[in-house]
Structure 1
Amino acid sequence: MARLNTLLFLVVVALSVIALIDCLSTDGTRLRSFPRGAWIVLILLCPVAGAIAWFRAGRATSASDIEGPMPVPGGGPVGPEDDPEFVKMLATRISGA
């Protein structure tokens, strides 16, 4: 019985440490639901439930999970259709002028 208790304890500690490291290393723009400090407190005070909640609802896993526009590196257009100059050049090329 002592071995089982030790194993369960180590699993809970490992889960909490992994969740805490992931929470601390996640970019601030990818946080959901609560601020980082609230997630840290939740993970530390409720190790199993806090860690599971962090992995299920704390961090955005895809771009559609993040609210608001994604930041663009360099501030320029993302694709050619976002560049007004390119669209204008295509329009003149299609019209044959």
Structure 2
Amino acid sequence: MARLNTLLFLVVVALSAVALIDCLLTDRARLRSFPRGAWTILILLCPVAGPIAWFRAGKVTSPQDTHAPAALTPIGPEDDPAFVQHLAATLRNR
């Protein structure tokens, strides 16, 4: 039983450490729901629920996310009207 408790303790510590490091290294623009300080306190005070909440709802994971800032969505050159006009002018002048 002591081995199982030790293993569970190590899993919880590792999960909390990974979540805390990920939270601290995530760009501020990708944070969602709470500020970084609130996430840090939640991860430290709730060692199981805090990291799970962070990985589920703490940061924007895809550009299609409804809460994603516009700056995180990739823009291709064909979506830029100035680039398309420049390309058309270059092709006409050949």
| Structure 2 length-normalised TM | 0.79
- Residue-pair matches, total: 89
Q: Give the aligned partner of residue 55 of structure 2.
A: 55
User: Which residues of 2 match residues 25-44 of structure 1 at below 5 A?
Assistant: 25-44=25-44
Runs of 4+ deviating beyond 4 Å: none
Higher helix share: 1
Measured in 1, the distance between the counterparts of 2:10 and 2:83 equals 59
Measured in 1, the distance between the counterparts of 2:21 and 2:83 equals 44
| Structure 1 length-normalised TM | 0.76
User: Is there any run of 5+ residues in structure 1 with no aligned partner, and where?
Assistant: none
Please report the RMSD computed on the Cα atoms of aligned residues, expressed in angstroms.
2.6
Q: 1:80 aligns with which of 78, 81, 88?
A: 78
Are 2:12 and 1:12 equivalent residues in the alignment?
Answer: yes
Q: Deviations over 1:40-88 (max 9, x none)?
A: 000000010000000000011112225332169xxxx852341336337
Higher Rg of the two aligned structures: 1
User: Is there any run of 5+ residues in structure 2 with no aligned partner, and where?
Assistant: none
